Each structure stands twice: as C-alpha cells, then as structure tokens.
Amino acid sequence: MVATSKFAATITLPSDRELVIEREFDAPRRLVWEALTTPEHVRQWYGLRSMTMTDCQIDLRPGGRWRYAQSTPDGQEFAFSGEYREIVPPERIVSTEGWEAMPGHEYLSTLTLDEVDGRTMLRTHLLYQSQEDRDGHIQSGMEGGMNETFDRLAELLPTLG
C-alpha cells in the first residue's frame, strides 16, 4: 500500500495486552480533532475505500456512545462501537471499543493528539482484556485497514483548513 503522506503509521507492543499506534499528520491539532469528532468528517475518511459508511454516531461526552458501521459491496456489515470515558478537547479521548460481531472482547482506547510546529502526532494506546484478544486483532488485518483509513484522513485534513 502506498501512503499518501510521508508520515507512516507505526505499531508497537509494549506488553502482552497492549498495542500502540502512532501516525503523524501534516495538520494542526485542532483540525485533526475536528476530523476525528465530527460525524460528517468521519464519514469521509473512516474505513476502507471499498466500503460504504452506513452509520456514524458520535455522542462526544463522558458516558456517550459512538458507533461506526460500514458495508461491503455485497451488503456485509462491519460495525464498531463503544462508550466515551474521558474527553479533553482537543488533546485526549478515552473510550471503549469493540467489534460488534464479537461481543465481550472490548478494549480500552486512549487517543492523544500532540502538536509540534503545525504537525500533529496521533497516538492510540489500546489495552486488551487478554493477549489472545490483542493478537487476534492484529491477525485480523487491522494494520492494512488502519493505514488506508489514516491515508484517507491525511487527504481530508487540508480541505478543512
């Protein structure tokens, strides 16, 4: 896959239940925050290009729920959802996250945005219930989907300024 940005995502595994994703974006933090938290923007960048977003709900407050669903050309749905635990605009979101097809395997996601010289480092720390859950997520092909999604976000950001 060819990234549309010179900033590639990296994945590290700090422990047997953790995964950390980092990606730099050539945009100020306020624009990245807006793109991550506004449904009309999320609809433009989230997920694979080959899929259609069918649901994008964001109730951005502690205790609020979120849900993103996409469908394949043959109608198969893939939905992810969770609950917001902490919101600190424009720098931090803590939420649960899970694939609806596998209930009971939710994980805790802590997303932080740090800006330096007009560029934003997005860092997502995922804490799983078990090593098996973490490894299963990695083996699901999430890395390819994540990179395509981040490339789409990088394409959208210049249009928001």
Q: Is residue 79 part of a domain?
A: yes
Q: Is residue 2 part of a domain?
A: no
Judged against a pLDDT cut of 90, whether residue 1 lies above it is answered with no
Q: Is residue 127 part of a domain?
A: yes
Average pLDDT taken over every residue of the chain: 94
Residue 46 CB neighbours (<10 A) = 19
Q: Is residue 1 part of a domain?
A: no
Q: Is residue 19 part of a domain?
A: yes
More confident residue, 80 or 141: 80
Judged against a pLDDT cut of 90, whether residue 4 lies above it is answered with no
Q: Is residue 3 part of a domain?
A: no
As a whole number, mean pLDDT of residues 18-25 equals 97
7-20 tens-digit pLDDT: 689 999 999 999 99
CA nearest 123: which of 45, 43, 25? 25
Q: Is residue 21 part of a domain?
A: yes
pLDDT at 6: 60
- Measured between alpha carbons, how far is residue 127 from residues 11, 52, 104 in Å? 13, 28, 14
Q: What percent of the chain has pLDDT over 70?
A: 96
Q: Is residue 4 part of a domain?
A: no
Whole-number Å distance between alpha carbons of 110 and 159: 26
Here the CATH number for the domain that contains residue 152 is 3.30.530.20
- The residue range of the domain holding 138 is 10-160
Judged against a pLDDT cut of 70, whether residue 5 lies above it is answered with no
Count the domains in the chain: 1
CA nearest 114: which of 28, 49, 48? 28
pLDDT band at 40 (very low <50, low <70, confident <90, very high): very high
pLDDT at 105: 96
As a whole number, mean pLDDT of residues 78-91 equals 97
Whole-number Å distance between alpha carbons of 117 and 24: 12
As a whole number, mean pLDDT of residues 18-38 equals 97
Judged against a pLDDT cut of 60, whether residue 118 lies above it is answered with yes
The answer, as to whether pTM is greater than 0.85, is yes
57-83 tens-digit pLDDT: 999 999 999 999 999 999 999 999 999
As a whole number, mean pLDDT of residues 45-62 equals 96
pLDDT at 161: 77
